[in-house]
Structure 1
Amino acid sequence: MKTSARLIVLHPSVHKHGGASHRIWLLLFVSFFTFAFIFTLFTTRDSITTTTRTTTSAAAASSNSRLPKPVFDALLHYAATSNSTATADRLSSAELKSIAAVLRRCPTTPSCNFLVFGLTHETLLWNSLNHKGRTVFIDESSYLITKLEEKHPQIEAYDLQFTTKVSDLYNLIDYAREQIRNKCRPVQNLLFSDCKLAINDLPNHIYEVDWDVILVDGPRGYFAAAPGRMGAIFTAGVLARSKRGGGGAKTHVFVHEIDREVERVCSNEFLCRDNLVESKGSLGHFVVEKMDENSFEFCPNSSSSPSSISSWADD
């Protein structure tokens, strides 16, 4: 009986220790999964919050990438007011508004790739109106470029040595016609062009951009030895026709002082009278379409004869 009693006392003791052990493991198991659940809950919530904030920020950035219309209109208003009496080197109020309207409804919304030949009174205005867009300025004066970069380091500008002269206008036109299937093709990579009218020594990345808007307001062209805008207009025409598809199929090209001989003749030759959509004061607005690389005519639907060139001056 003693032995049996001893056995009865020992059995509960053994079961008691085993039950405690199982409870401890069960408690640890439940605690682990509780912790894992709470940790997952918090990290998921933080992830959702972060994602929401990122999405909201991205949406806000997209909506704010275009200059607010009241600010856009105010800048244009004060610029137009200060230019109400336009001089030879300034755009009139109507001319400013013509360019600004295209920038406002840029083909590659919300901002434009805007190439400007010439540093002028309107340089800061163009950079501001094309808010968060790509605006690049090209000018013949390294001095003016340096001064601009010192005062406004955020502006992208390059100086360029033009090799043409106003007095060479008709020789260059004849040369371009002779080389239209070779060096002076309407569709080509200007970086490798040997055409005398091609601007090919800008930084390489300039030629990789699909420009939406191009303004030719430089270089100087008011005396015989001045470089003239033959190269700028030819280059604008080739850039517009040689787009690779990153932007719209059309490029808006503006030529200032189109009433002058060089600007009128070269615009007719390389931008084409049929592409002229608007004329405000001395500003011509052309819309030039992308062309097939096997095209060898700048103006397939119009004549470039001397008579058609001179008749434009009488319009």
Structure 2
Amino acid sequence: MKSGGGNTNTKLILVHPYIQKQTSTNRLWLLAFISFFTISFLLTLLYTTDTIISTKTTSTVASSSPISQLPTTTINALLHYASRSNDSYHMSHGEMKSISDVLRRCPPPCNLLVFGLTHETLLWKSLNHNGRTVYIEENRYYAAYFEEIHPEIEVFDVQYTTKAREARELVSAVKDAVENECRPVQNLLFSDCKLGLNDLPNHVYDLDWDVILVDGPRGDGGDVPGRMASIFTAAVLARSKKAGGSHKTHVFVHDYYREIERLCGDEFLCRENLVESNDMLAHYVLERMDKNSTRFCRGRKKRSVSSSS
């Protein structure tokens, strides 16, 4: 076709119906894929959120629930068989039950410090279920041996420098220095007191002890260490607890019928704190003291060591 002075080319494009059908099908597939992906993403998001919430809820419930303790039947069985030993140095059933009752009432996790490895060592560890139990032993070789055969036991050896025959002299010296290096509230790690144990691991002084049992070192002769230092150390640890938590510490002294145990118990743990006693076991409950305190016992005169035990 010609018009005016120029040429115009006209093109005709024909679209086959098959091509239109194919394009429509591809769009449907694309839409289906996007829809599937979207639904899958939403379901995954909902499931993940629900799982996280469920996990947090379970964790919160678990952390808020009390720590399980040994069943009463298990405790009674342990006490029964421990008291049936042929070892003449073991505690009686009544003595072990007194300590067991306190451990059972102790809010978990309970911190138990024991002076001496004895027939009942494994018993205390078992009764203080889910708590921390630490032992202090005078014989380094026996401590290493015991820890080797019972790796679950935490035991430290300590070198005592005292002699049982010097008990009254040492207690008198402590009474003279009660306002200085032998204060009832102090960090024994830096103490120069003659009866203060200052070579134990740092965490022994940092922990707040809920229960302390003095059943060592040896005290049945003049040249053995005697329990002056362990009783004095127990008295200071109990009174030096940090603020917060329980202000009370239960202190047990075994072999209370002996002169040194009774003397040091009266001077450092104090009779007004004695809640139970028999010929072998004394039970004291000590309160945390102010850091400026200079007397172990209320109303006690400074010099009273010379009085009869």
Question: Shorter-chain TM-score category?
Answer: 0.7 to 0.9
Distance 1:307 1:41 in 2: 75
Question: Counterpart of 2:3?
Answer: none
Is the 2:125–2:133 Cα contact (8 Å) retained in structure 1?
yes
Distance 2:20 2:10 in 1: 17
In the superposition, relative to structure 1, how do residues 286 and 303 fare at CA in structure 2: closer, same or farther (>3 Å)? farther
What SS is found at the alignment partner of 1:198? Answer: coil
| 1:32 partner letter | F
| 2:152 partner letter | Q
Provide the identity percentage.
51
Distance 1:17 1:153 in 2: 77
Matched, 1:73 2:73: no
Deviation at 1:246, TM superposition (A): 5.5
Distance 1:124 1:165 in 2: 28
Is the 2:212–2:251 Cα contact (8 Å) retained in structure 1?
yes
CA RMSD of aligned residues (A): 2.9
| 2:92 partner letter | S
1:35 to 36, 40, 45: 40
Matched, 1:141 2:139: yes
Question: Counterpart of 1:224?
Answer: 222
In the superposition, relative to structure 1, how do residues 305 and 278 fare at CA in structure 2: closer, same or farther (>3 Å)? farther
Runs of 4+ aligned structure 1 residues displaced above 3 Å come to: 3-7, 9-29, 44-60, 301-309
| 2:115 partner letter | F
| 1:123 partner letter | T
Distance 1:118 1:309 in 2: 29
- Any gaps of 5 or more consecutive residues in structure 2? 1-8
Deviation at 1:18, TM superposition (A): 7.6
Deviations 1:44-68 (A, max 9, x none): 35445555665676678x543x122
* Structure 1 length-normalised TM: 0.84
Is the 1:269–1:304 Cα contact (8 Å) retained in structure 2?
no
Distance 2:108 2:97 in 1: 19
- Any gaps of 5 or more consecutive residues in structure 1? none
Matched, 1:168 2:159: no
What SS is found at the alignment partner of 1:116? Answer: strand
Matched, 1:100 2:94: no
The count of corresponding residues between Structure 1 and Structure 2 is 300
| 1:254 partner letter | F
Deviation at 1:121, TM superposition (A): 1.0
Is the 2:111–2:209 Cα contact (8 Å) retained in structure 1?
yes
What SS is found at the alignment partner of 1:277? Answer: strand
What SS is found at the alignment partner of 2:238? Answer: helix
Question: Counterpart of 2:292?
Answer: 294
Distance 1:195 1:71 in 2: 43
Deviation at 1:243, TM superposition (A): 0.3
| 2:218 partner letter | R
2:110 to 106, 109, 112: 112
Is the 2:172–2:305 Cα contact (8 Å) retained in structure 1?
no
Is the 1:142–1:159 Cα contact (8 Å) retained in structure 2?
yes
Deviation at 1:43, TM superposition (A): 2.8
Stretch of structure 1 that moved more, 21-30 or 71-80: 21-30
What SS is found at the alignment partner of 2:213? Answer: strand
Deviations 1:67-125 (A, max 9, x none): 22211111012222337xx84x321221111111111111xx23421101111111111
Deviation at 1:27, TM superposition (A): 3.6
* Structure 2 length-normalised TM: 0.86
